[in-house]
Amino acid sequence: MRFLKEPDYSHGKIGKTAVVLINLGTPDAPTRPAVRRYLKQFLWDRRIVEVPRAIWWLILHGIILPFRSGQSAKKYASIWTNDGSPLKVHTEKQAVLLKGYLGERGHEVHVTYAMRYGTPSIPDVLQKLKADGYDRLLILSAYPQYSATTTGSNFDAVFSHYQQVRNIPELRLVKNYHDHEAYIEALRLSVLASWQTNGRPEKLVMSFHGLPKAFLLRGDVYHCECYKTARLLAEKLGLSKDQYIVTFQSRLGKAEWLQPYTAPTVTQLAKDGVRRIDVICPGFIADCLETLEEIAMEVRSDFLQAGGKEFNYIPCLNESPSWLRALAEIAEQHLIGWPTMLTVSMREEQKQQALLSRAEAKRMGANQ
């Protein structure tokens, strides 16, 4: 095995701590070649597709990539911003703001982000952190609910990278936070803010990303954690069981996935006479193709065409202050025991840095 080149080592050097926020990823551009490269990497992950490799290679390269790349590129183009992919823009802002919020709580840590597929890649980010002298890393996935296909895949990429490293940094991994009180509270506040502006719906639809049913039967806990998130949020909102429904979106292929499916469910609600629904996607912490195009455009159209009168999409948590406070609290709980606490004078400096971070995030938003 070939090991990666190690940075120069010196005894007595003070170690540093970093938080790595990892999200799914996105194409570099809303073009067919860029989307093809992204899908090729994404759909070749053994965590995503468990079909035997030889058979799957033929399906992927003979059917999916030639035909799906162009269709997906058009969808990405419909949500692309001047600054690029919404998912990447939001993830970058979250990393900038998280550093500020952790600084306000008294922690001297670096915060950066990586993408499981696309750029910046997990190996590139981890290698740069090592070169910069960070020897304690907190790996924080952008998935509140654990699944082998998401958080598990992130862990695979981290472990795979460190198989090539001699001096591995100290690692901590956040598996999930689907029932974390601060996360649920951030969701509650986002719903209430929407209702204050738009009024209340007849039905709140909580749409989570789908998963093949076979994965559930093989032991994936994702399904259970989605329902727990939904139950806790409904309780916080004071909703009865007939006032909300849990659904699953983004199916791929002909195999059975977790049900009920989002699009058919909202269509049936409209046919049953439900005039107004709100849809929230609690499993996504940043708006992306699956929320902005699939839900806010396609599912909206399905509901209205089936006879519904009003459809309201509640945005993801993105950079809401309640969510950044929650994310800082989640990170802080996993930083306990590491020497990250600041002196009094350093805390004052960090407060100023936090203000600058928020100003930078606002500037980034103004340029979209």
Confirm whether 283 is domain-assigned: yes
Spatial CA neighbour of 26 closest among 91, 70, 71, 78: 91
Confirm whether 73 is domain-assigned: yes
Confirm whether 126 is domain-assigned: yes
- Same domain for 164 and 196? no
Which residue positions form the known binding site?
Answer: 209, 290
**What is the per-residue pLDDT across 82-98, written as a single tens digit (0 to 9) for each?**
999 999 999 999 999 99
Please report which confidence band the pLDDT of residue 212 belongs to, taking 50, 70 and 90 as the band edges. very high
**What is the per-residue pLDDT across 214-238, written as a single tens digit (0 to 9) for each?**
999 999 999 999 999 999 999 999 9
> For residues 188-221, b (16+ Cβ closer than 10 Å) or e, as one string?
bbbbeebbeeeeebebbbbbbbbbbbebbeeebb
**What is the per-residue pLDDT across 311-334, written as a single tens digit (0 to 9) for each?**
999 999 999 999 999 999 999 999
Cα distances (Å, whole numbers) of residue 368 to 82, 86, 297? 5, 9, 20
> For residues 240-277, b (16+ Cβ closer than 10 Å) or e, as one string?
eeeebbbbbbbbeeeeebbeebbbebbbebbeeebebb
Q: Which residues, at least 6 apart from 359, have a Cβ–Cβ distance to it below 8 Å? A: none
Q: How many domains does the chain have?
A: 2
Strands (DSSP E) contained in 118-155 are 134-141
- Helix, strand, or coil here: 249? strand
Confirm whether 348 is domain-assigned: yes
Burial (CB count <10 Å: 0-12, 13-18, 19+), residue 166: exposed
Residue 352 has pLDDT above 70, yes or no: no
In angstroms, the CA 7 to CA 46 distance is 32
Residue 347 has pLDDT above 60, yes or no: no
- Same domain for 103 and 145? yes
- Same domain for 270 and 355? no
Confirm whether 9 is domain-assigned: no
pLDDT at site 364: 64
> For residues 96-126, b (16+ Cβ closer than 10 Å) or e, as one string?
bbbbbbbbbbbbbbbbbbbbbbbeebbbebb
- Same domain for 213 and 303? yes
**What is the per-residue pLDDT across 269-306, written as a single tens digit (0 to 9) for each?**
999 999 999 999 999 999 999 999 999 999 999 999 99
Residue 33 has pLDDT above 60, yes or no: yes
Confirm whether 6 is domain-assigned: no
- Same domain for 331 and 212? no
pLDDT at site 6: 78
pLDDT averaged over every residue in the chain: 94
- Same domain for 226 and 295? yes
CATH number at 88 reads: 3.40.50.1400
Confirm whether 218 is domain-assigned: yes
Site of tokens 């519904």: 308
Domain that holds residue 51: 16-178+321-366
Dig out the tokens for 127 from the structure.
Answer: 């290698």
- Same domain for 346 and 242? no
pTM check: above 0.85: yes
Section 76-81 average pLDDT: 98
Dig out the tokens for 28 from the structure.
Answer: 């570099």
- Same domain for 239 and 287? yes
- What letter would DSSP give residue 311? E
> How many Cβ atoms sit within 10 Å of the Cβ of residue 172?
17
pLDDT at site 354: 63
Which residue positions form the known binding site for Fe(2+)?
Answer: 209, 290
The dihedral sign for the CA sequence 323, 294, 115, 87: negative
